[in-house]
Structure 1
Amino acid sequence: MSNKLNILLVDDHEVVQAGFKMLLSSYEQFDRIDTANSGEEAIQLYRKLQPDIVVMDISMPGIGGLEAIRKIVKTSPDAMILVYSIHDSAVYTERALQAGARGFINKNSAANCLAEAILSVSAGNIFLDKVQPTVNLSVRNEKENTNPSTPVELLSPKEFDVFCLLAKGLNGHEISANMCLGYKTIANYSTRIKNKLNANTTVELTHIALASGVLKV
Structure 2
Amino acid sequence: MSKVSIMIVDDHKLIRETWSFILGSDPRFEVIADCGDPEEAIEMARAHHPNIVLMDINMVPISGFDATEQIRKCSPQTKVIGVSMHSQPAYARKMLQVGAQGYVTKNSSREEMVKAILEVDKGNKYICEEIKNIISEQLADTSSDGPDFQSLTEREIQIIHFIKAGNSSKEIALQLEISLKTVEVHRHNILKKLKLKNSASLVNFINSNPSLY
TM-score by length of 1: 0.75
1:171 aligns with 2:164: no
Tell me how far apart the structure 1 counterparts of residues 113 and 36 of structure 2 sit (CA, whole Å): 19
Task: Give the aligned partner of residue 141 of structure 2.
Answer: none
Aligned length: 199
Aligned 1:2-151 pairs, distance under 5 A: 3-76=2-75, 78-132=77-131, 133-135=133-135, 150-151=147-148
1:190 aligns with 2:183: yes
Answer yes or no: is 1:214 the counterpart of 2:184: no
Instruction: Measure the CA separation in 1 of the matches of 2:179 and 2:159.
Output: 7
Aligned to 2:113, the other structure's residue is in SS state helix
* One-letter amino acid of the structure 1 residue matched with residue 190 of structure 2: L
Return the letter of the residue paired with 2:185: R
Amino acid at match of 1:160: I
- Tell whether the 8 Å contact from 1:175 to 1:186 is kept in structure 2 after alignment: no
Counterparts of 2:118 and 2:5 in 1: how far apart (Å)? 11
Aligned residue for 1:31, secondary structure, equals strand
Gaps of 5+ in 1: 137-148
CA distance in 1, matches of 2:43, 2:173: 22
Identity in percent: 27
1:157 shift after superposition: 2.6
Indicate the residue corresponding to 1:142 in structure 2: none
Distance 1:151 1:106 in 2: 22
The AA in structure 2 aligned to 1:196 is N
TM-score for the superposition, normalised by structure 2: 0.76
Q: Aligned partners of 1:211, 1:19: CA distance in 2, in Å?
A: 29
Report the CA distance shift for 1:94/1:135 in structure 2 as closer, same or farther (over 3 A): farther
**Relative to total residues, which structure has the larger helix share, 1 or 2?**
2
CA separation of 1:68 and 1:95: change in aligned 2, threshold 3 A: same
How far has the Cα of 1:70 moved from its partner?
2.9
Cα RMSD after superposing both structures: 3.1
Larger Rg: 2
Moved more, 40-49 or 15-24: 40-49
1:63 deviates by 2.0
Deviation at 1:168, TM superposition (A): 2.5
